[in-house]
A and B are shown apart, each in its own frame.
Chain A
C-alpha cells in the first residue's frame, strides 16, 4: 500500500465548477499535512497547510480527518489558472511524503 494515495486523474472541469480532491495516508503517526501545487515543468509549491479544524484560503478549503487518515481539498468557482497537478503531502519526522498527484484541467 502506498504511503499517500490520491484520486487518479485527470479531472477536466468547466470554469466555475467546484472540484474536490481526496487523499488517504497510511502512517497514523504522520505529523502535519499539506497540499502542494505543481505547474507543468515547474517545481512543487505550497498551496496550503491542512488542519484538523479545517481551513480556508479564498476559494480553497482543506480538511483533515485524523481518525480516517483522510485529507481533502475543495476548489470552488474554479479558474483557468487553477489548471495544475495537486499533490497531497504528509510530513513524517521532518520528511515530506508525496502522493502521486491529481491533474486538474479547467476549460473555458
Chain B
C-alpha cells in the first residue's frame, strides 16, 4: 500500500512569514496526526484528527498554528507568522487503529 505522503520535503522561510505543509494519509486511515520534532528531541503531538474532526489540539500553539482536514482525507498544517523556534521537522502520521501508525517522511522547516 502507498505510504503517508508529505510535501514539501524542505522549506526555508524568514521569520514572520507564513508556511503550509500538506499530508495525504494512507487510504482508509481515519485518524491523522501532526507531530513536531525539534532537533535532539522526540516527536511532540500537535493535533489529532478523527475523520475531519479534531480529537486533540491541546499542544497546538493556536495563536500561530492552524490545521484542517477537509473531507476527512488530506490535511494541511499552517504556521503564520513563523518564529525561529518553529524550526523543526513536521511529521504527519495516520492510523486505522490504536496500534497501527505509519509516519510520512516529514517536512524539514528552517526559519531564518
Contacts and interface: CB of A to CB of B under 8 A. Distances in A.
Interface of A: 4, 31-32, 41-46, 49, 87, 91, 94-101
Contacts of A32: 98-99
Contacts, number: 46
B105 A42 contact: yes
Contact of B42 (A49, A91, A100): A100
B103 A95 contact: no
A100 B41 contact: yes
Q: Sorted from nearest, which 10 A-B pairs have the closest CB atoms?
A: A98-B42, A43-B103, A100-B42, A98-B43, A94-B98, A101-B42, A100-B41, A99-B42, A95-B45, A87-B42
Q: Which of B41, B44, B103 has the most CB of A within 10 A?
A: B103
A95 B101 CA distance: 10
A91 B15 CA distance: 34
A43 B105 contact: yes
